[in-house]
Chain A
C-alpha cells in the first residue's frame, strides 16, 4: 500500500502536459434559467419542466426555487403538486436544452477557441494559453461567472489541468474552483466517487462498500479495482489525474493560425479597427515567419457586443506574410464592418497556410523577389475588382482556337508544352465568331468580297485554307476552314467557313484580326 502511494505521487509530480488547462462550466438550471430570462415574471414562481414518460408526467428540469423546496428531476409531476400545490408545470421540449447549450458554446468562444459541449448541461473549454489575456486565472473565472450570471444563469465553474478534475470540482467541489497545475490528486481526494463521471451502478457499489470518497479507494491496488468495478473506473480515474489523455471534441474545429484581441472598451471607430488589425497581423505574421509559412486566405472577425459577428475575408495569389501588404488588402474592406454599438473582440484567422521559404531565396534570386511584388499587386487588384479579372494563359494541346489556351492556376505555373507558331494566329480573336456574308468565285476558294457589319471589303490577298476539325471526343460539330484575308486597304482578317458545300450553302464567320 505504502509503495503504491509513493508511486502514485511520483507520477503526479510531473503532469502529462504542463501547458493544458481546462475550464468546466455547469449550468445547474439551464432551461429554467432560460425561461426566467425570457419571462421575467416567472422569477418568483416555483416551476418545473415535465414530459410524459410511461403515461405519467415526469419532472425533467427544476427551477432554482423548486429545487430549494426539495423537488428533484425524475419525480412524478403529480407527486410534486401534492408536496407543493403552487407548483407550475410546463411542457418540456427535448431539443431545447441542446440548442441552448450550443448557442452558449458559441458565445463562450470569446473565452477560448476550443469549446465542447459536455453532457446535457455543461460546457468544457480548452483554455490553454488564454487566461493570461484576462490577467490571470482568477480574473478569468470571475469574468466567466459574472457574465453568465448577468444573463441569469446559475453556473458553477472550475479550472484544472485535466477535463476529469475540472468536471469533478465543478460539480462536486466545495472549496476552491481553481485547481493549480499538478494538484489534481489533492483536489479529488475528498470528492465522492460520482465526481469521476462513472456509471450510477458503479457508484452505488462503491458506496455500498463504504467508499464514500475518492481517497478511500484511490490507493487501492489497480488489479483489485479492475476486478471488482470494471476497467471504466480506472480509465476515469486516470483521465482525471492526467495519466491518460482525454480529447475534447470542440463544436467548431480550432484553426491553428489564429490570433485574438479582446478590447477593454467596445471599439466603434475605423481607426480603432485599424489599430486592432495591425496588432493582430503583427503577431500572426511573426508566428508565420517563425514557422516559415505564408497565408493564402485570411479572415478578420469582429465580435460585436450584441452577439453578432462581422467578418471580412481576403485571399492572396501566393503565400504571404508581409504585414503591410496584408494590411492594405484588409484595409480596403474595413468599411464593410459595421461596429454598431461596439466591437469587443477581434480575431484574425488564417485557415489556409502554405510553406513559404524564408527571405533567403529572394536574396539569391531577384526574379523571385519581383514575383512577390507582382503577386502583391495582383492581390490588390483581385481584392478590389474580383478574382476573375486577372488571367494568365498557358498553351493547351488543342487546335481548335478557343481551346488552344487555358487559364493558369498560379503565378508560377509554367507552360507544359511549347506555344505553336507554325501557323498564323490573329492578334485579336473575337470571343464569338460573327456571321458575315461573302461572295465566293469558286467553292473551296477564299472569298473575293465580304460584308462585315454591313460594310463591304474587297479581298486583295488571301491565304489558306487551314482546316481545323472539331474534336469529336469533346463536341459534335462541323469543321472550320480558316482563311487569312487582306483587303485592298491592307487590313488583315481571319475568316472561316463552317462545313462544306455538300449540305447546302455553308456559313461564313469573322473570327479575328491580324496585326
Chain B
C-alpha cells in the first residue's frame, strides 16, 4: 500500500514536470495578473499558458473577424499589449484603428503582409524566434503537423506566445499546438426595446487543450475586458431569440 502511494507521488511529480516542460506554468511562476477570468480554469494549474502556440480555426469571413477580435482581447488580457506584436498574414484585412477598442495600441502591432503561404510560415517561424516580441499572430489556412512542430521548437527556445489563426482550412488536422479554439459570433445583448447593436459577443469553444479540460463559454467584450455571460442574460437573449 505504502509502495503504491509512493508511486503515485512520483507520477504526480513527473506529471508536473512534464507540464512545466510543455510550457504550462505553476501557480508560483505567474507574476502577471491575467484578466481572463473563467477561461483559465480550463488549463492545468488554472493558468493560461503563455510561451506556447494556440490554434484558432475559423470557417468563414465572419468567423475570422470574431476570431481576430477574440485574439486581440487575449493579447490585452495577457498584458501583451504593452510590448510589440507581429501580425503576419497573406490576405490581411485587419483594420488597425479597430484594435484600439480591444485595448491594443495599434502602433505597437507590426503587420507583415505576404503573398505566399510559404513566406508566411517562414516569417512566423523567424518571428517566434525573436524574444523581443510579446506575441505573434499568424494567419494562414493550411498548417501540417511537421510545420507546426517547427514552430513549436522555435517557441520552446524563445517563450514567445503564438496565435495561429487558420482560416477555412481544408482539414482540421492535428497540429503541435497546446490548444484548439473556435470562435463564433453571438447576437449581442441590449436592454429590451432599445435600438442598436451591443458589445461584441462570442461563443468561445476550447475544443482541445493539452492536460486540461475542453470547455465552452459565452463571452462578451466590454470595458476592455472579457465579461462572462451570466445565466440571467443568457436567459434573456434566449427568450429574445425565441420571440
Contacts and interface: CB of A to CB of B under 8 A. Distances in A.
A75 interface: no
B98 A373 contact: no
B166 interface: no
Interface in A390-430: 390-395, 401, 404-405, 408, 414-415, 419-421, 424-430
A491 interface: yes
Nearest to A393: B96
Interface residues of B, number: 54
B187 interface: yes
Contacts of A488: 187
B95 A370 contact: no
Contacts of B41: none
Most chain B CB within 10 A, of A369, A424, A486, is at A486
A385 interface: yes
Nearest to B200: A515
B99 A462 contact: no
B101 interface: yes
A420 B101 CA distance: 9
A484 interface: yes
B237 to A, nearest CB: 10
B147 interface: no
Contacts of B66: 491, 515
Given A381-B123, A462-B197, A515-B68, A429 B185 contact: no
Contact of B185 (A420, A421, A491): A491
Contacts of B62: 491, 513
Contacts of A369: 132
B93 A374 contact: no
A392 B110 contact: yes
Interface in A462-515: 462-463, 484-486, 488-492, 512-515
Contacts of A427: 65, 68-69, 72, 94-95, 98-99, 102
B240 to A, nearest CB: 9
A430 B94 CA distance: 9
Contacts of B65: 426-428, 491-492, 513-515
A460 B243 CA distance: 12
B68 A492 contact: no
A486 B84 CA distance: 32
Interface string B199-243: 011100000000000000000010000000000000000000000
A428 B64 contact: yes
Interface in B60-80: 61-62, 64-66, 68-70, 72
Interface in A412-453: 414-415, 419-421, 424-431
B113 interface: yes
Q: Which of B109, B187, B190, B197 has the most CB of A within 10 A?
A: B197
Contact of A385 (B70, B119, B221): B119
A429 B197 contact: no
A391 B93 contact: no
Contacts of B84: 370-371, 374
Contacts of B96: 393, 405
Nearest to B186: A490
Interface in B97-113: 97-102, 105-107, 109-113
A377 interface: yes
Most buried by B among A377, A394, A425, A515: A515
Contacts of B34: none
Interface in A288-335: none
Among B112, B119, B201: residue with most chain A CB under 10 A = B112
Contacts of A491: 62, 65-66, 185
Contact of A405 (B64, B97, B132): B97
B127 interface: yes
Contacts of A425: 95, 97-98, 101
Contacts of A393: 96, 106-107, 109, 111
Interface string A105-116: 000000000000
Given A461-B197, A514-B200, A373 B130 contact: yes
B110 A428 contact: no
Top 4 closest A-B pairs, CB basis? A515-B69, A429-B95, A513-B65, A373-B132
Given A385-B114, A428-B61, 17 more contacts: A373-B132, A374-B84, A390-B110, A390-B112, A393-B109, A414-B107, A419-B106, A425-B97, A425-B101, A426-B65, A461-B188, A461-B195, A490-B187, A492-B65, A514-B98, A515-B68, A515-B102
